Structure 1
Amino acid sequence: MRSTSALALMMASLAFGSLTACGDDKKDVDNVDAGTNGGSDAGTGNAANGKCPASAYICENFDNGLNGWKYPDDEHNATITIDATRTRSGSGALHVVTEAGHDERTGTEADPQAIAHLRKDIPTFGTKLFARAYVYLNRASPKDVMGTYFILFSPSEKAFGGIELQQMNSGGFALDDWSGILGTGWNLQEDLTVTMTPNRWACIEWAVQRENETDTTGRAQVYVDGALAYDFPNVGMRPFTNFAVGYGFVHPHGDSASETWIDDVAVAPERIGCE
């Protein structure tokens, strides 16, 4: 289970206890088509080469520094900066470096995580939310370890919880669900027809949907370069008001060194697409 800080983890544990495995039920939310959907800059950043719809809550190519982004509550054995070491467009990109040698299995580290994200508040989640980012990994995630890209989080005391999109060593994905909704939990992609590969700029999209604003479950889809990689059923839904983007490992197994660049990030209530 993952949250925004050690305090949030404790709150989640106290409020919800252990989460159950993901069930098989899902609501019949319309599938998002795999085509691209360009648009104009929404004015919340300068993603001129990233294409954002006018409805975008976030449209960011990191050319203006933090530009309203917040650093994590804690830095977990990683650095997160905005620099020009590798960019997809413009003069800046998000640059995450995780330290080597952290291993949660030893039980000797107070904080064995190696992960960092930037965060922004977004309008309260209703029925559809779409995130798009271009990602450059210098390596696949370590074997049996998940690398986290995006987090949607609700800090509300009455609706505390979150979900996050993770990368697996196989190139597939996982959906970590610590929403606290009964019957939901961690969900692993098993169909590896469409995968993520390192050492190139790849377009990753994350679609989170539910039929009605009051539904407590829905579904989440992940696309790579416009192609549907996986459709996660029975995902716990909360009134998410916070979006995070970055990379790193919540449960590292010693081989925790990585370097990742992220550029042209967009979040909107409609499909954003890739160029």
Structure 2
Amino acid sequence: MASERVRGRRGVIAGAVAVAALGCSGSKTEAGDEAAGSGSCPVAALVCEDFEGQPLGQAPGAPWTPEGEGTALVDDQRAFGGRHSLRLETTAGWDGRALLGLSDAALFPTTHLFGRARLYLTEASPDGVHWTMVQASGPTEAEGVWDGPFTAELRYGGQHQQRLMANYDTPGTYDTPPAGPASDCWQHSQTVMPQGQWTCMEWEFDAETDTMRLWFDGAAIEDLTVGTMGEGCVNPGTAEVWYYPDSFEAMHIGWVDYQNTGGSRELWIDDVALGTERMGCD
């Protein structure tokens, strides 16, 4: 929930998600097409990245698209596997986000998205600041709610006391004129975001059963398994219903704070993989 959001531009990551993984080799966007690197992509991965084949000190190249005024650079200071990882540093608020976008045809569109990533977060955003670290989005329709299709976004991040949160939003509502209903819905967890250590984060976004799930180090975060309704919404435009995308078309991985009071965040991401089956952390 972010009832006091500060948005310098469009108030959400339009058409995007965060991603995940382990055991990849360079960049891979379809079976048998890998850049040089060590190890191999999980068998079920359709897109994966371990940053070993990416130049140090530069933003990752295709198929990734950097977004925001924060930095996302290949780094050798800290890595989970191999020598390289991606270091992200944000500045305050939406404009200061550090994200990588992906809409690769090897994976999208899809109705069932799994991901995993190794994350090392120095310190989570302070109490009350809403953040997102993984997100998927696509078009949907809701008769009687909005006249025509609109974009729906499913996210995992957090907000209160550095605890995790599932979030649903409809970014078209921030356009002028609005291109979707107002929502911004939440489901809070009792689990605190791990800090100062490598964590394997996995997620599932399922448009076929209208369900989203999250795992940390192989253990399900049970109170963040969400269907079509969470604990509440900032705005009543969808009558608190989470209308899932008909299919997912894009995603982002990284970090964004929606308020300007959170300061700077630093994190590393390594061993990213995406597919339509769960890949696990082993």
TM normalised by structure 1 equals 0.69
Cα displacement (A) at 1:247 = 1.4
Cα distance, 1:43–1:88 mapped onto 2, change above 3 Å: farther
- Aligned 8 A contact 1:130 1:270 in 2: yes
Mind listing any 5+ residue stretches in structure 2 that lack a counterpart?
A: 16-20, 26-30, 55-59, 141-147, 172-179, 229-241
Partner of 2:123: 139
What is the DSSP-based 3-state SS (H/G/I as helix, E as strand, rest coil) of the residue aligned with 1:6?
A: coil
- Percentage of pairs with the same residue: 24
Cα displacement (A) at 1:56 = 1.7
Partner of 1:175: 166
Cα displacement (A) at 1:171 = 4.7
* 2:65 equivalent among 56, 67, 71: 71
What is the DSSP-based 3-state SS (H/G/I as helix, E as strand, rest coil) of the residue aligned with 1:53?
A: coil
1:209 counterpart letter in structure 2: D
User: Deviations 1:181-218 (Å, cap 9, x if unpaired)?
Assistant: 8796422223x2x5432000000111111336xxxxx1
In the alignment, the residues of structure 1 paired with residue 119 and residue 254 of structure 2 have an alpha-carbon distance, to the nearest angstrom, of 10
User: Deviations 1:195-250 (Å, cap 9, x if unpaired)?
Assistant: 432000000111111336xxxxx121111100011212214322221121111312
In the alignment, the residues of structure 1 paired with residue 133 and residue 208 of structure 2 have an alpha-carbon distance, to the nearest angstrom, of 25
Partner of 2:227: 233
- Aligned 8 A contact 1:195 1:224 in 2: no
In the alignment, the residues of structure 1 paired with residue 66 and residue 135 of structure 2 have an alpha-carbon distance, to the nearest angstrom, of 12
Partner of 1:58: 47
- Aligned 8 A contact 1:174 1:186 in 2: no
Partner of 1:220: 212
Partner of 1:257: 264
- Aligned 8 A contact 1:45 1:62 in 2: no
Pair 1:6 & 2:9 matched: yes
* 1:86 equivalent among 78, 101, 121: 78
- Aligned 8 A contact 1:149 1:245 in 2: yes
Cα distance, 1:199–1:259 mapped onto 2, change above 3 Å: same
2:151 counterpart letter in structure 1: F
Cα distance, 1:184–1:233 mapped onto 2, change above 3 Å: farther
Cα displacement (A) at 1:174 = 1.6
User: Deviations 1:37-89 (Å, cap 9, x if unpaired)?
Assistant: 9988755656855x74333221111112224133345x23x211112121111
In the alignment, the residues of structure 2 paired with residue 154 and residue 48 of structure 1 have an alpha-carbon distance, to the nearest angstrom, of 34
- Aligned 8 A contact 1:179 1:237 in 2: no
1:188 counterpart letter in structure 2: Q
- Aligned 8 A contact 2:157 2:167 in 1: yes
In the alignment, the residues of structure 2 paired with residue 11 and residue 127 of structure 1 have an alpha-carbon distance, to the nearest angstrom, of 18
In the alignment, the residues of structure 1 paired with residue 108 and residue 257 of structure 2 have an alpha-carbon distance, to the nearest angstrom, of 27
- Aligned 8 A contact 2:22 2:117 in 1: no
What is the DSSP-based 3-state SS (H/G/I as helix, E as strand, rest coil) of the residue aligned with 1:85?
A: coil
How many equivalent pairs are there? 228
**1:77-226 pair list within 5 angstroms:** 78-99=70-91, 102=92, 113-122=95-104, 123-154=107-138, 158-168=149-159, 170-179=161-170, 185-190=184-189, 192=190, 194-211=191-208, 218-226=210-218
In the alignment, the residues of structure 2 paired with residue 84 and residue 72 of structure 1 have an alpha-carbon distance, to the nearest angstrom, of 19
- Aligned 8 A contact 2:87 2:266 in 1: yes
Mind listing any 5+ residue stretches in structure 1 that lack a counterpart?
A: 13-36, 104-111, 213-217
What is the DSSP-based 3-state SS (H/G/I as helix, E as strand, rest coil) of the residue aligned with 1:257?
A: coil
1:160 counterpart letter in structure 2: T
Cα distance, 1:83–1:43 mapped onto 2, change above 3 Å: farther
What is the DSSP-based 3-state SS (H/G/I as helix, E as strand, rest coil) of the residue aligned with 1:211?
A: coil
TM normalised by structure 2 equals 0.68
In the alignment, the residues of structure 2 paired with residue 248 and residue 11 of structure 1 have an alpha-carbon distance, to the nearest angstrom, of 13
